[in-house]
Structure formats: structure tokens, C-alpha cells
Structure 1
Amino acid sequence: MPDGGSTRISADRVRYIKLGEGGSWEKECFERGIVRMGYNTGIHFDMLTDANLSAYGKTYTDADKGKGKVTEIVNVVRIFRDDPGVILWITFSGRLLRWCFLDPASALERHSDGRGTFRRTLDGWHSRDLADQPLRMETLSGHITQLAAYRGTCCDAKDPEYVVRRINGERRTEVVEAERLTADLRRVIISMMKLLTPQDFELLVDLVFSGSGWRRQGVVGKTEKLVDMELWLPTTDEHAFVQVKSKAKQREFDEEYAEAFTKMTQFGRMFYVYHSGHITCSDDKITILDPEKFAAMVLDAGLTSWLMQRVG
């Protein structure tokens, strides 16, 4: 739960829970700020007050479950029932990690539909970290995301410290150092791009787009003023063109390129790439690749060595 007087969270334990078969209880849990538990706890609600849940455990003997499975179910229910708000509960929904803490003042309640029980959360379910960034599954370690395929109802997370750190919006020192070095490298890439000839800069742009799936349909650097490259994206059948400028000027962009694009109905998108200057555009069909954005693309495309060789 949140540390006293701070915005960080801490947890004695991290537990994954599946909210209903196929996520059937997710919507209700997220909207009401509750966590639901099945395992016939609604049917045998009166048996859940025993400290060791022995009577409740015996209800499974006729269900042809092994002793180990019955013990597992009883432990799951006991942990859920007795949690004083120190366990971090997580689940996955909509490709996001969702998390909450139980309200320590909330007791186990029978659900009105008779299908299990529930407890109330401390302050609802969350899907963002404490730095207000979405906790997307594709950005999380496989040690955690593999829980989404867990066939049971509830289990402990194997790397609880990692989950808590990610929710706190914290990074390992190695990641922080890598981010610093990457930022430095992007600045150097911008400096090197400015040393390229216009022809070499166009070639670099062509290499970046080719590596990201776009296929060039026209000749790079042809004499047509408004179009340096015609592109086609096979996966979406999108047609676009690229204008490459060494030095960008806002007035030139507005009066020549942006205005002309509105009449070029054969293209669904325009990319405007430059390495010097600054321009802005509000048209969502025009993608501005300024020096910082394009330098990141060069780095991601693995073209730093190519650039170093060109400027020698």
C-alpha cells in the first residue's frame, strides 16, 4: 500500500488474480472498485469464518479434487479473506497491467448473484504507474506478463520487487544509465546529420523508411519539387510521400508544402523530415520528423555506423 506521507507504494506480497472465467468479472470489478473470488465461496459463505477454513475445505471432497488442489484452493481463499491491505493485487485486461490494494477495513462479502464473494479495494483499480504512464504489457518483463496465461485463479508473482518498482515508475540504475547514453548518442547523431550532403541526407531518410516497412515507389531526389520520395506501406495499403529538407522554415512549409498537400489526394500522408530549424503543424495527416525524432529513428534502425562512415 502507499507509504505514509509519500506517493510510493510498498507491498509484502504481489498476487495475480483472474477476475472470472475469461475475464467475465473484470468490467464490474473495475467499475465498482472490488475484487471478486469464486471457488463456491458464495454458496458456502457461512463456512468462511473459521480460521483454518476446515469445513469449507471438506466441501470439495465430493468434487473429485486431489488433496493438494483442495489445499491450494483453501489457501487462496484464506489469503484473500485475511489480507489486511498489504498485498498488491494485479491482473491483466485490455493489454494493460491493472493493480489495486484491498481496503483493510473491508470484510469478505457474499456477491448478490450468488457466484462467489468480493472485497472492496482501497482506492479502485489502476492501470498507470505513479508517474502517470500506462502499464502496457508490451513494455513489461515476460516474467510478469506470462501470468496472463496462468490457468488457475490466483498465484504469487515470481518477481514482486519488479512489479512494485514498475508501478512506482522507477527504473534500474542500468536502465537510467542506458537512457542517458542513448540521449547523448541522439545528440551526436543530429550533429552528424548536419554534416551530410543533401543527397546523403535523402539517402539516409530512404534507408530509415525502407527499414520500417515502407516501400519506395518513386526515385529518391527526383526533380519534382514537392515530392522527394513516394512510399507505399503494404500492410495497410497506405500511400505517402516524403519531403526532405536540410533546413526547415515555417513560412516555406506553410505556404508551399502544407498547402500543396491538401490538393494531393492520391496520398494519405505526408512526412516532412529535416535536420535543422523548427516547424510546427496541426494537420494530423502530416507527420513532422524533426531532428530529435528522426535521430531516434536512425538509432532504432541501426544506421549509426552508416552515418559515422559517411561523415568520416
Structure 2
Amino acid sequence: METSIRLTAEQLGEMQFRYIKLGPNGRWSSRAIEEQVLFLGHKEVPHDLALGRDKQQIATLLQGIGRSAGKANDFAREIVDFYTLGADTVWITFHNGRLWWAIADSEVIWVGEDEERGARKRRLLFPWRDTDLKGEVLIQQQLSSLLTKVSAYRQTICKIANPDYLRCKLAGSDDPDTMRAEQALQALTDAAATLIAKLHEDDFETLVGILLERQGYHRVSRLGGTQKDVDMIVEQPFTGETLFVQVKSSTNQAGFDDYISRFDATPGTSRMILAVHTANGKLTTANRPDVTLWDRTTLAKAAVNAGLAQWLIARAG
């Protein structure tokens, strides 16, 4: 057996990838991970024949025991891949909601018939792990479906359709397309923050009202109505939560503290939100868990997520 190896992100760039289903419906996965091996079935194909790596001979045998020509050729390919792919191949599988990956030693060992494992196995040079090279857990639901759809593959071994994406995930680096999208999103958010600061007071109040409505809150008092101590009272009909909302184009800490005092004096409200796009100095909530500050950055992120970029352009332009 070859010695175990350490792997770098640069070395991943030279690797090829294969998905392997470890047993019917993945039933051998726990044992394979525990024993640090790859398993493959096809017990009807003798080890000596598989060592010959002759796809045609293997396919002929499989057809002789009733496999269709298509299935026989697919199974023969899987067996030959298992016997020939070396230490330049990263094997991946999915188990318990995570992506696992490993690199196998080239030697194939015959282990015979056992329903709890495959008929043959390969020990590992780089052990099964469910984290990237930076230690972040590879959660299946957080990965692109372009990759995770391979777990529905009906047979055992296949190539990965998007190896560059997988390579980035295993290295713990960002996919270039994702990076470009994140940069564009950040640029849009920064632009939205600039536009929010240019809004007329009435438009700013309208924006805050829209954002609250998108979160399921309904107004109990009119926006900018006659209640002198509060700009808006809103209620969440499903939870019954009632919010005290102040909307100010600008304020300072003394003003913020005054609004908190008004909130404390207002019966029937459980939380307070101060929405402000221009702060005169640093604003703090005084460690009040029932007081939330919506500053320009928070509002910009919320507006972009709510699809209000064009609305902002029209109002601030």
C-alpha cells in the first residue's frame, strides 16, 4: 500500500473526480467511512477477471448471466474504473446530509460476498472527510444542485458534471461565478444605501412601511399620523406582536434615547424599531434586546432583498 498523503488546494487543481454510491441506497456508507475504505459490489465478476481490466470480457460475462447489453457495459465500466483510477482521483459520496471525499490506494482487495459491504475494497491514502481543506463542514443542502443531483445516480460510479465547482468547494474557496455575483450584489447594496440617504422624508417613511409589510406587519396607526409620540404602530397578525416604530431621516444618541423613553411609556408594544438613514454620531441600543436599529446599511440590504432597487432609483433619481 502507498503511504498516506497530505493534500493542498493546488494539488486539487490536478485531480479528477468520481462519485461512488457505497452500496444499494448507500447502505455501506457508514462502514466504509468507519473502516476508511471504498467498497464496490458486482460480486458476480471474479477478482481475477476484473484485474485484467478488459471491459469487453467483463461485459460478456455479465450478459451471459442475464444483464442487458447496456447494463453490462455500464457495470464493466464501473469495475474497470474502480480497478484503474489511481491517486489522482478524488472519490465523493453523500452520507447523512453531508458530502464526504477521499483518495484511495491503487490496490484492490477481494473481500468476497457480504451484504454489509462490497465484494472488493480499496484502502485510503487520504481519509474520508466531510469538511473542506479549511475545516468547514460540507452540508449537502448548502451545495449546488448541479453537484448534489449526482446522488440520485442509479448506478454506482460516474463522473462529476461540474468538477470546477466541486474543486472550489473542497478547497474551501469561492466559485468564480459566485464571487462575481456576490460582488455585484454588494455593489447594488452600496448603491441602494446611497439612494436611501437621498430619499425625501415621505418616501423614506414609505420605504420603511413597505419593508415592514414584506415581513408580515400591518399598520395599526397611520404612517406619520396624529399620535405625537410614535410614527407608526404595526402588528404581526399571526404572532400578535406589536411594534413601536420611529422613522427619522437623521438623529443622534440623545434623540434615540428619547424615542426609547417614548417606547417604554407606550402600553401594548413589545418591541421598538428606529429606522434612520443618517446618524449624527454612533447610535447604540443600550443593550436593549427589545430595541432594534435599522441604519442605512441594514435598510439597503433589506431593500435589495425585497426587490426594491428600481423603486429606490425612481424615488431618489
1:70 and 1:86 map into 2 onto residues whose CA distance is 26
Equivalent residue in structure 1 for 2:307, among 287, 302, 310: 302
Select the residue among 64, 71, 77 that pairs with 1:69: 71
- Which digits, 9 at most, give the CA deviation of each residue in 1:15-45, with x for residues without a partner? 222233334344444455443333337xx67
* TM-aligned CA distance change 1:65 to 1:132, over 3 Å: same
- Structure 1, residues 165-185: CA drift from partner, whole Å, max 9, x if none? 34332433x654443343233
Any idea what the Cα deviations from partners look like across 1:97-150, whole Å, max 9, x if unmatched? x1423233664463876531443441322344758475554552x433332332
CA distance in structure 2 between the aligned counterparts of 1:282 and 1:113, rounded to whole angstroms: 59
| Equivalent residue for 2:190, pick from 187, 192, 196 | 187
CA distance in 2, matches of 1:229, 1:164: 51
Query: Match of 1:22, as an amino acid?
Result: N
The residue type equivalent to 1:230 in the other structure is V
Change (3 A) 1:299 1:51: same
CA distance in 2, matches of 1:144, 1:156: 11
Q: Which of the numbers 120, 124, 128 marks the counterpart of 1:124?
A: 128
> For residues 129 and 229 of structure 1, what CA distance do their matches in structure 2 show?
50
Rate the CA distance shift 1:68–1:177 in 2: closer, same or farther, 3 A.
closer
**Mapped partners of 1:192, 1:198: distance in 2:** 13
Secondary structure of the 1:207 match is helix
2:87 equivalent to 1:85: yes
- The residue type equivalent to 1:158 in the other structure is A
2:234 aligned to which of 230, 239, 249: 230
CA distance in 2, matches of 1:90, 1:248: 55
Number of residues of Structure 1 aligned to a counterpart in Structure 2: 302
After superposition, residues 184-223 of structure 1 pair within 5 angstroms as 184-211=187-214, 214-219=216-221, 220-221=223-224, 223=227
Structure 1 counterpart SS, 2:203: helix
> Contact 1:81 / 1:108 at 8 angstroms: preserved in 2?
no
Q: Is the 8 A contact 2:197 2:296 kept in 1?
A: no
Measured in 2, the distance between the counterparts of 1:18 and 1:251 equals 63
Rg: which structure is higher? 2
TM-score when normalising by structure 2: 0.70
Q: 1:150 aligned to 147, 150, 153, which one?
A: 153
* Kept after mapping to 2: 8 A contact 1:2/1:8: no
Per-residue CA distance 1:176-199 (angstroms, 9 max, x = gap): 444334323322322222233444
Measured after TM superposition, the shift of residue 210 of structure 1 is: 3.2
What CA distance in whole angstroms lies between the structure 2 residues aligned with 1:286 and 1:136? Answer: 36
Measure, in 2, the Cα distance between the counterparts of 1:62 and 1:264: 83
- SS of residue paired to 1:102: strand
CA separation in 2, counterparts of 1:37 and 1:2?
23
- Distance 1:185-1:61 versus aligned 2 partners, 3 A rule: closer
* Partner SS state of residue 236, structure 2: strand
Q: Quote the residue 2:53 is aligned against.
A: 52
Counterpart CA distance in 2 for 1:265 and 1:182 is 39
Please state whether the residue corresponding to 1:22 is helix, strand or coil.
Answer: helix
| CA shift for structure 1 position 204 | 0.9
Distance 2:12 2:41 in 1: 28
Partner of 1:101: 102
Distance, in Å, in 2 between the alignment partners of 1:86 and 1:224 is: 72
Counterpart AA for 2:182:
E
Mapped contact 2:93–2:100 kept (Cα < 8 A): yes
**1:100 and 1:157 mapped to 2: Cα distance?**
13
- Structure 2 unaligned blocks of 5 or more: none
Q: Secondary structure at the match of 1:187?
A: helix
Contact 1:100 1:125 (C-alpha < 8 Å) held by counterparts: yes
How far does residue 66 in structure 1 lie from its aligned partner after superposition? 1.0
SS of 2:17's equivalent? strand
Aligned to 2:168: 165
